[in-house]
Every structure is written in structure tokens, then in C-alpha cells.
């Protein structure tokens, strides 16, 4: 006769409480992830589907938050509900919690809304003590099993709840194995395990100052508290920060009756995926151990067997597990990560959740499931994280090689993960030497205190870039992302000496000299000595990714352009699916070695005639540059994609040598004597650079201000742009050049610059004998420009939001100084005396993810004002935020026409724009 299960006691406890804190597995379902956590929702769904799940209950995430709100005390009624739920489990298992004859043991596990594998705590075999262990022996007839369960519980409870050093227990186990003449824990005889139990309790008592708890309800109470507390342990907080998981969700706690995989060779435990999480192959993937408990699989003490071998070890169990795996994947319509235990030949499912997978597997599984008819293309596009797309396109370290380097102590330091990808090469400390070696085929990592435009030629041939100073949007980082180069910036754990051509690792004697090999990981910010092998990606061969992005293109509303300064960047951008160039920075072209002397001659010119002569020399270079960019953006039908060219923006002194370096040179030459000609040249240069020095050059003579004071520079560039377009149009190509005037703060600046340049365009059209298709627009990168966007829009064909500078000027931050000094502490949290938890000032780095409340409000206002004044105006964004998924969602929301980002982020932007459009569509339904 089937026992009638009642939970009237639980129902009454709920009525006496302010809310329901506890749900039996029979009461939950998959839609309750936020309340029950992923694990609780998963086991509830499996329970209600009739799968073999050990009975249990879930204490909700709300209880965890209530625990913290109540000064780390259970909220009213929560403990009473938990005890009543335990009585229901006793009925379901016909066992008693703390019962000497027929004891119920339980596991206590964490389970948050979003999977955080290994970040929080678990306690197994809870409910065992000196009395119940005797009952367990009598019940199973297996003394070794019972005392093995007891020592495991003491060991795990002490580590998790009492914060005891795990090594103290391991030392006892090692000695016991040595004395018993055995190699593994599973071979320790019962007689030794009894002694180990006594020793383990003594270790716990010494560490905690109190006897090891034998009251099973006290054990449970403490274990639940420990799991709640683990929500805020360091690794959990770091994991949430990295994965952008909110810190206020809390974790659920799952209390589940134990089943035992360590009851002999017909028992076991394992973890498996319905598909291979490393490759995406549709085949069961995982491992298991016979005669073991769950922690044995992950602890590495014994070598697990591949899941395929279970078919020969326990064929009936394997067949049942295979069927359940197929059923779960079909039910959840996603690859599942499953935990299971076999007790005396009977299979039990302990967990199912959507499995974590690497980038390649994520894309393959999504595309395959569409082909299998399991999900739609829309769902496939929403399944893949944009960051996973980026990972697929960058060189990356071989995992095994990197792990070996860490074990060998070759990790030198860690900086900002400024530009993803991995690289190794010779550490080279100046750009000229890097260029020389790079062009000769030597792999080079350019190492600088910080980079400047002077270093571009070395950066172009380097495999990667490492700087001791600078932030994630510093010069090094921005250029590296544009070039698709790995970059570690702001690495304060090293000191770089240009003079000695070496770097020192802070706090150690380690020195890396020029020519020695180093490896950098731009995805993690790690710097290693020696070579770590990398694996290359080939977009053309990524057929699954190309298919996924083709679907994405059909759903997105935002156009996706690229920031590109050279033809090779533009070609790469087109390969990645860019629909145009949203920012071509002309100043980088000025830094090329053969033209930099001419640029300097133009800057140092004493008369307008001298300046014009230098500009006339630069004109053919610039025209050739723009022709190259335009040609790379022409499709097979001869139609050119839009190309937005920004006129010169930086202050002119950036094209001249450093004032400090010149001062040193002049002093040296004066002291040495006999170098009169060189000394005169250096003095002249020093005087010129000194006259151009500004207290705050980023807010000084640059952008349109420079063009207003030296209009001939803008005239030369505009002529070069339009003459290049005319050349190609004569060859039958159709072009759409757009000229962008930077740093406009007042409408009159734009009006005057445009007036000057329209006359140049008219001259070229007259020379060409036909009209030219071109547009003039401006960057909105100053708060005043956003506030007066309606005035500016009447005189512009397009806006492009320069959100890097707009963020600087809105916050009042100097980007490089802020990221190097205080900004990351604002994001990670400040240590405040007297407070246990860090105080976070900012949720995210505003130079990486757009500050919606401040900067975003200005952008939104400018969009609304601009469109009201000029309905035909085109609106885009060309800051680094154009490749950030969260920022792209905002740009889609406010109705921009396009985003523009570095070439390697184009696939990310395509996917993120589609996801934003689909999310918006769902919200509007």
C-alpha cells in the first residue's frame, strides 16, 4: 500500500509566516529560476516529469536576501518551514532525520538564478553523527561505507562551515593510506576510517574552538547559513563581476535526500553533457567514477572514466541515462549539464541545467539545433553570447600550454585586458626596432611605458602590445583593437626602462631583457615569460558562425560599420560583414615614416607659403590613402559602401618629438659641444614644441578649432578625399564619401568650416565637370554639442557620436589618468575602514559600457533634437561603445541608424544588434 504523503505541517508554517520561503521539489517548475535558482527549478521540473530524482526542497533566493537584510539571521518563519519540509522528505523516503535505526542523510547545495559552477558551497552526508552512523551500518551492512560517509561529512562540513584548513584533513588521509598500504581513499579499511573520524573531529574542534556539532538540526542550520554566506565569498563576487551577474539576486539552497555512489562497484557518480561542450558534437560527453561520491569526480584524486565506458560497466544504467539525457535536451531545447548518482544499480538524477560551453561549441550547437528543427533561427541568434563570437576570431593560447606555464611559475604580472587575443614574441622596447624585426619576420611584442602615435609603425608589425601605463581605452588599446592585436595595458606589476631596454617585475628579481620571449593574453590581461603556443582563427572557415551572423543580419535594424584607417583594416572589416566605414582617422596616416618629416615641416612653417608648400607635398599621399580606403570598400558591382572620413583631430604637437626628450637632447649637446648644426635644429624644434604646449591639450587647440586657425589643412584633406572619389568615379565606381568635422561645440564653428570646405568641393566638381556625391557632418563629442544638437543638425547631413570623448567631458575624467589611478577602484569597490564590504561607486567602466543615465541621456537628447530639426539627418556612433553589446542595445533603443566599431568587433556588433532588435520586438508584443 502506497504511503499517503501529507504536508499540512508545512502549509501551516507558511500561513504563520510573512511569505513562502520553502518549496518542495513537487511544487516548483522550470519557470521559477529567479525564485528557486537554476538547480532548484531544474530538479523540480525533473521531479514533475517523473524522472528518478531524490526527494528534497528548495529554500528560495528571497530567503537569502532576507537573511542578509536581517543581519544574517533567518527571516521570520524560514527555519520553521525548512523543518516542516524536512518532515515531508522523511515521509517520502521512509527515513528519519537523526533517526538511529533508519537515518535520513541530506545534501545541502547552492543554486543561483544564473549558473555559477564551483563558486559557492555544498555539504554532503549531512545528518550523520556517532549514533546515526551505527544505524547506517546496520541498515546497509557495510561498515566501511558508513564510516567513509561520516569522515567525508566531517571533512566537508569543517571546510565549508567551520573554515578549517583542508590540508589538515588531507595529511591525516595520506598517513592512513601509507599505514594501511593502499593508494586511494576508496581502499582505506573501515578500522582506519573509524580512527580518521575521531581525528577529523579533533581537528575541527581545534580550529573552531567548539566540539564538532552532533545535533543534526544544528548541522543543517549551520550548513544553510554557510551556503547563504558563500553567495558573497570572493570567488563568487569575482565571477559575478566578470559575467555581469547582479549581486542582489541571492542564492537558493537545495536540501535533498542523499543517494550514495560509494556503496560498491554497482554504485557510482558522474557529470555529463548531452553534447560535447568543447566541440558541440552531438554525443554524450562526460565522466564518472564507480564507488565514489560527487566530490571525487572533481577533486582529481581518482581518474574518472569517460561516460561511454558506463555502457560496459553498468549497461542497464547507461541505457536509462542515455534516454533521460535525450528526453531532457528535447524538453529544455538546449544542451544539458547533468549530475547523476547510481546507488546499488539504481540511477538517480541530481541536477540538470543548460550546460556551459566554449565559443565554438555555442555556435555549432545553436546552428545544429536549427537544422534539427529544435529551435528557430531567432532563438539561435539569442543563444550565443556576443563575446563568444569575438573569441572565435582571435588567436588564443592553447589551454594545456597556458596551464603548464602557470604551473611553472612563468606568470609575471597582470594588467588591463585592453584588447583580446593571445600573442608571443621577442620583447622589444622601441617602435623602430620592432618595425625592423617585424618586417624581417621576427615575432615581436612591443613593450612600452605607454604608447603614442609615434609608435604606430612598430605597432603595425607587432604581434601584441604591452604597456605599463594607460587604460583600456588608451592609445595602445584603441589602436590595438583597430588592428586586431592583443594588448595588455596599464600593467602596474612591471616597470619598463626604455634606456636599459628591459622590464622588471615589481616585488621580485625577475628581469626580461630585450630579445627575450614573452607571451601576453589580451583577454585576461596576463603576461608570461617564454613562449605559449597560440591557435589561429579563420573567419572564412567558420561556416557555422557565418550562418549565425547571416540570420542575425536579417533581424537587426542597426547598420554595422567599422572604424578603419588603412585599406587592410577596411578589407578585413568587409570580410567580417561591415556595411561601411564609420570612422577613418586621417591623423594615423600622417604618422607614416615617409611623410612624418613633411608633416613636421608643415607644423614648423614660419609663413603660410611654407605651410602650403608642405601641404602640397602631403596632398598626393593623402589622395592615395583615401583611394586605397575607397577601393577596399567597393563591392563586386562597383558600388561603394559609405565611408566617413574625419578631418585632422589631435593637437599638432602630437606629431612632434616629446618636449622632455628634446630638452634632454639639447642639454646633452650643449654639454658635449661640437655639434652646432644638430644643436641648432634641436633648439628650433624645442622652441616650436614649447610654444605649442598646452595645460590640457585634449581640450585645447584641436579638431575644428585647428581647422579654423589653419584652414589650409582641412582644405588639403577635403581636396584629397574628393579627388580620390572623382578618380574612381571616372573608372565607373559609385562612391559615397562623407566628411566629418570633429569637436564642434558651437554651431558657428561648423557653419564656418563647412562654408570653407563647400567652396573646395565646388571647385573640384567644376574641375571634374560634374556634381560630386558627398556629405558634411560632425562628431557630437562635447556636452554642449549634444545640448544644442537642434542648431547643429540644421547645418549637418549626419551626426556621429564620439562617445569616448563625450564620456570624458561629461564625467570630467581624463581617460588614461582615471583608469590608471581610480576608475577601476570605483568599479571594483573601495576598501573603507570599518566596513566589511567594498563600496562600489560605479557599476561598470563607463569607457567600456555606455553610462546610460548621464552620457546616454545626452546622446538620446541629441538624437531627439537633431531629428526634430532635420528629419533627414543620419545618426551613428563611432566610439568604442559601438562594439559593446550593452551599449548597442541602448543605441537600438533610441533609434540610431548605425554603430561603428573596430573591425574585429564587427561580428559582435552584428549579433548584438540582432539580439537588441529581437528583445525590443518581444517587449513590444
Residue owning grid cell 559593446: 884
Q: Are strands 798-801 and 775-780 parallel, antiparallel or unpaired?
A: parallel
Left if phi > 0, otherwise alpha if psi is -120 to 50, otherwise beta: which for 914? alpha
Q: Which of 576, 494, 652, 459 is nearest to 903 (CA)?
A: 576
Return the C-alpha cell found at 11.
502549509
Question: Does residue 64 carry a catalytic annotation?
Answer: no
* Spatial separation of the C-alpha atoms in residues 383 and 385, rounded to whole Å: 7
- Secondary structure of 215-237 in HEC code, one letter for each residue: CHHHHHHHHHHHHHHHCCCHHHH
DSSP state of 5: P
Tell me if 300 sits within 8 A of 185, measured CB to CB.
no
Tell me if 554 sits within 8 A of 500, measured CB to CB.
no
Return the C-alpha cell found at 232.
558573497
Helix (H) or strand (E) holding 842: none
Q: Are strands 416-419 and 444-448 parallel, antiparallel or unpaired?
A: unpaired
Number of other CB atoms surrounding residue 300 within 10 Å: 8
Return all residues near 500 (Cβ < 8 A) that are at least 6 apart.
Answer: none
DSSP state of 278: T
Active-site pick, 7, 64, 457, 475: 475
Tell me if 55 sits within 8 A of 87, measured CB to CB.
no
- Alpha-carbon torsion (776, 779, 785, 786), positive or negative: positive
At residue 655's C-alpha, the angle toward residues 652 and 656, to 5°, is 100
Helix (H) or strand (E) holding 257: strand 251-257
SS3 of 417, please? strand
SS3 of 54, please? coil
Report CA-CA distances (Å) from 52 to 45, 350, 650, 720. 11, 9, 68, 74
Active-site pick, 704, 878, 881, 901: 878
- Alpha-carbon torsion (767, 592, 420, 362), positive or negative: positive
Catalytic residue ranges:
475, 878
Amino acid at each position: 500500500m502506497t504511503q499517503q504523503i501529507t504536508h499540512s505541517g508545512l502549509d501551516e508554517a507558511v500561513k504563520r509566516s510573512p511569505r513562502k520561503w520553502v518549496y518542495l521539489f513537487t511544487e516548483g517548475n522550470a519557470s521559477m529560476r529567479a525564485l528557486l535558482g537554476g538547480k532548484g527549478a531544474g530538479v523540480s521540473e525533473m521531479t514533475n516529469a517523473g524522472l528518478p530524482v531524490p526527494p528534497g526542497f528548495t529554500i528560495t533566493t528571497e530567503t537569502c536576501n532576507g537573511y542578509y537584510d536581517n543581519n544574517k539571521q533567518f527571516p521570520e518563519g524560514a527555519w520553521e518551514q525548512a523543518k516542516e519540509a524536512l518532515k515531508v522528505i522523511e515521509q517520502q523516503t521512509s527515513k528519519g532525520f537523526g533517526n538511529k535505526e533508519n537515518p535520513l542523510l541530506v545534501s545541502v547545495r547552492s543554486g543561483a538564478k544564473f549558473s555559477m559552477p564551483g563558486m559557492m558551497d555544498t555539504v554532503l552526508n549531512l545528518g550523520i553523527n556517532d549514533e546515526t552512523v551505527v544505524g547506517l551500518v546496520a541498515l546497509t551492512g557495510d561498515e566501511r561505507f558508513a564510516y567513509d560517509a561520516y569522515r567525508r561529512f566531517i571533512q566537508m562540513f569543517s571546510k565549508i562551515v567551520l573554515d578549517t584548513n583542508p590540508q589538515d584533513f588531507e595529511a591525516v588521509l595520506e598517513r592512513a593510506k601509507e599505514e594501511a598500504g593502499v593508494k586511494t581513499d576508496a581502499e582505506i579499511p573501515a578500522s582506519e576510517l573509524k580512527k580518521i573520524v575521531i581525528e577529523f573531529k579533533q581537528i575541527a574542534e581545534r580550529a573552531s574552538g567548539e566540539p564538532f556539532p552532533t545535533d543534526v538540526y544544528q548541522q543543517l542550520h549551520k550548513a544553510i547559513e554557510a551556503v547563504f554566506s558563500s553567495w558573497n565569498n570572493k570567488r563568487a563576487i569575482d565571477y559575478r563581476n566578470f559575467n555581469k551577474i547582479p549581486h542582489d539576486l541571492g542564492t537558493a539552497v537545495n536540501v535533498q535526500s542523499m543517494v550514495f555512489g560509494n556503496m560498491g562497484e554497482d554504485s557510482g557518480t558522474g557529470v555529463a553533457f548531452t553534447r560535447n561542450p568543447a566541440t558541440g558534437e552531438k554525443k554524450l560527453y562526460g565522466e564518472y567514477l564507480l564507488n565514489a561520491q560527487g566530490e571525487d569526480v572533481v577533486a582529481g584524486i581518482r581518474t574518472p572514466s569517460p561516460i561511454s565506458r558506463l555502457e560496459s560497466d553498468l549497461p542497464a544504467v547507461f541505457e536509462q541515462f542515455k534516454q533521460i539525457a535525450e528526453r531532457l535536451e528535447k524538453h529544455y531545447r538546449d544542451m544539458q549539464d547533468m549530475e547523476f548518482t547510481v546507488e546499488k544499480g539504481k540511477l538517480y538524477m541530481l541536477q540538470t541545467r543548460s550546460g556551459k560551453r566554449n565559443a565554438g561549441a555555442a555556435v555549432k550547437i545553436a546552428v545544429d539545433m536549427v537544422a534539427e528543427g529544435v529551435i528557430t533561427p531567432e532563438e539561435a541568434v539569442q543563444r550565443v553570447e556576443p563575446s563568444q563570437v569575438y573569441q572565435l576570431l582571435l588567436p588564443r593560447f592553447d589551454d594545456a600550454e597556458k596551464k603548464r606555464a602557470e604551473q611553472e611559475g612563468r606568470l609575471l604580472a597582470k594588467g588591463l585586458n585592453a584588447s583580446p587575443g593571445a600573442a608571443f614574441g621577442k620583447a622589444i622596447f622601441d617602435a623602430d626596432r620592432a618595425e625592423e624585426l617585424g618586417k624581417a619576420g621576427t615575432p615581436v611584442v612591443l613593450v612600452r611605458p605607454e604608447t603614442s602615435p609615434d609608435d604606430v609603425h612598430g605597432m603595425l608589425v607587432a604581434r601584441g602590445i604591452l604597456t605599463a601605463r594607460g587604460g583600456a581605452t588608451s592609445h595602445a588599446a584603441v589602436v590595438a583593437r583597430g588592428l586586431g592585436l592583443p594588448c595588455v595595458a596599464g600593467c602596474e606589476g612591471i616597470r619598463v626602462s626604455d634606456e636599459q631596454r628591459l622590464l622588471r617585475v615589481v616585488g621580485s628579481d625577475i628581469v626580461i631583457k630585450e630579445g627575450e620571449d614573452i607571451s601576453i593574453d589580451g583577454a585576461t590581461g596576463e603576461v608570461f615569460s617564454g613562449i605559449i603556443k597560440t591557435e589561429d582563427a579563420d573567419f572564412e572557415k567558420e561556416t557555422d558562425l557565418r550562418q549565425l551572423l547571416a540570420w542575425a543580419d536579417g533581424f537587426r535594424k542597426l547598420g554595422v560599420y567599422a572604424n578603419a584607417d588603412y585599406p587592410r583594416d577596411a578589407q578585413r572589416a568587409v570580410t567580417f560583414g561591415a556595411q561601411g566605414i564609420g570612422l577613418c582617422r586621417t591623423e594615423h596616416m600622417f604618422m607614416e615614416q615617409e611623410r612624418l618629416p613633411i608633416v613636421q615641416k608643415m607644423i614648423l612653417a614660419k609663413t603660410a607659403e611654407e605651410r602650403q608648400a608642405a601641404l602640397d607635398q602631403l596632398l598626393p599621399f593623402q589622395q592615395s590613402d583615401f583611394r586605397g580606403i575607397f577601393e577596399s570598400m567597393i563591392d563586386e558591382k562597383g558600388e561603394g559602401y559609405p565611408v566617413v572620413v574625419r578631418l585632422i583631430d589631435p593637437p599638432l604637437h602630437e606629431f612632434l618629438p616629446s618636449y622632455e626628450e628634446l630638452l634632454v637632447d639639447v642639454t646633452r649637446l650643449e654639454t658635449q659641444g661640437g655639434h652646432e648644426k644638430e644643436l641648432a635644429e634641436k633648439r628650433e624644434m624645442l622652441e616650436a614644441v614649447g610654444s605649442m604646449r598646452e595645460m590640457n591639450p585634449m581640450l585645447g587647440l584641436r579638431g575644428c578649432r585647428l581647422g579654423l586657425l589653419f584652414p589650409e589643412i582641412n582644405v588639403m584633406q577635403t581636396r584629397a578625399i574628393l579627388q580620390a572619389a572623382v578618380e574612381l568615379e571616372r573608372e565607373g565606381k559609385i562612391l559615397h564619401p562623407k566628411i566629418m568635422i570633429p569637436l564642434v561645440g558651437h554651431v558657428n564653428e561648423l557653419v564656418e568650416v563647412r562654408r570653407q570646405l563647400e567652396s573646395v568641393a565646388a571647385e573640384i566638381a567644376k574641375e571634374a565637370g560634374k556634381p560630386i556625391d558627398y556629405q558634411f557632418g560632425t562628431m557630437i563629442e562635447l556636452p554642449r554639442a549634444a545640448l544644442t544638437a537642434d542648431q547643429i543638425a540644421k547645418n549637418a547631413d549626419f551626426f556621429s557620436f564620439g562617445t569616448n570623448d563625450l564620456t570624458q567631458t561629461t564625467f570630467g575624467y581624463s581617460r588614461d589618468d582615471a583608469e590608471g589611478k581610480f576608475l577601476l577602484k570605483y568599479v571594483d569597490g573601495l576598501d573603507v575602514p570599518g566596513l566589511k564590504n567594498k563600496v562600489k561607486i560605479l557599476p561598470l567602466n563607463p569607457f567600456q559600457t555606455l553610462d546610460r543615465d548621464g552620457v546616454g541621456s545626452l546622446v538620446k537628447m541629441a538624437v531627439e533634437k537633431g531629428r526634430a530639426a532635420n528629419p533627414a539627418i543620419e545618426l551613428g556612433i563611432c566610439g568604442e561603445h559601438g562594439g559593446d553589446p550593452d551599449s548597442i542595445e541602448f543605441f537600438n533603443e533610441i533609434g540610431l541608424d548605425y554603430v561603428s566599431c573596430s573591425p574585429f568587433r564587427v561580428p559582435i556588433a552584428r549579433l548584438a544588434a540582432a539580439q537588441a532588435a529581437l528583445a525590443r520586438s518581444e517587449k513590444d508584443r
